[in-house]
Amino acid sequence: MRNSDGDIIQWNVICLDIDGEVRAQEALRLAQDRLARSSQAASLAELSASIAHEVNQPLAAIVANSHACRRWLSATPPNLERANITAERIIRDANSAADVVARIRALFKQSTEARTVTAIATVMAEARDLMAEEAAPGGVRITLEVRGALPTVLLDRAQIQQVLVNLIRNGIEAMEGMAGDRLLNLLAGSIPEGIQVEVADSGAGPADLDKVFDPFFTTKTDGMGMGLAICRSIVEAHGGELWAERTEPRGAIFIFTLPTEMKVE
């Protein structure tokens, strides 16, 4: 304190105990560190599960075709024509497994190098043809409708094809054991922001639409619950959206959008 002349006439000392505040800050820092490590572990688990889920499909096809090839070669006389066909399928599925790993790596790196200006109708037709053999034993017919002249879009052809294959496979599985006509419709049309693709089935429909895209949520006895989560990640990485709706009297429709791009930047 000073007097009127500015001379110091008294000192006042204040002592504050900040021990509790410092300890609280340290506890908060430790909690944040633990949360960060838990998030990293969860991300690693999700990545591992996604790779296992996606690679398992072509690997299972490789095993099945290998057994078939051995049967054709063991026949008396050996059926070389059929063995050659199954050998070609083994090569196709092996390449597919390698492509899946490359696509997942590109997805988590947020890579855009593989994106090209593509006609979505061509990608849809390829996905339909890939799934035709899987759909036939269950009596499922796959139709494809393109409404109007669609603009081209900038996309990773292999990733979007994987999205379509997963949605088609889910539709086929949803109609297993269903009575009546088993029809799976693929539809593409224009929207103001770009294009919209729909995959509709006549199955029982998902029990919980709010959870079908959650990682590790599945209604299948042998499922991992990663397929739709990966599909949504791929679509969102392309700047689009993916959602599901119920249809009447039964069935479900999965819809995703992709923004229009006229050139590769």
3-state SS, one letter per residue, for 135-157:
HHHHCEEEEEEECCCCCCEEEEH
Q: What is the pLDDT of residue 263?
A: 41
Q: How far is CA 196 from CA 32, 160, 213, in A?
A: 41, 13, 19
Following DSSP, what letter does each residue of 179-226 receive, concatenated? -S-EEEEEEEEEETTEEEEEEEE-SS--S-TTTTTSTT--SSTT--S-
Q: Residue 201 to residues 144, 169, 217: CA-CA distances in angstroms?
A: 13, 10, 20
pLDDT at 143 over 80: yes
Higher pLDDT, 141 or 114: 141
pLDDT of 36: 56
Answer for the pair 218, 228: CB distance below 8 angstroms, yes or no.
no
Three-state secondary-structure class, residue 258: strand
What is the spatial distance between Cα 220 and Cα 173, in angstroms, rounded to a whole number? 10
pLDDT per position as a tens digit, 189-206 = 999 889 999 999 888 776
Q: Are 187 and 198 in contact (CB under 8 A)?
A: yes
Joined tokens for residue 237:
């990485």
Phi, psi (5° rounding) for residue 199?
Answer: -125, 110
pTM, two decimals, is 0.59
pLDDT digits (tens, 9 = 90+) for 58-75: 788 888 889 989 999 998
Give Dmax over CA atoms of the chain in angstroms: 120
The tens digit of pLDDT for each residue in 70-103 reads: 999 998 898 999 999 989 989 988 887 777 777 6
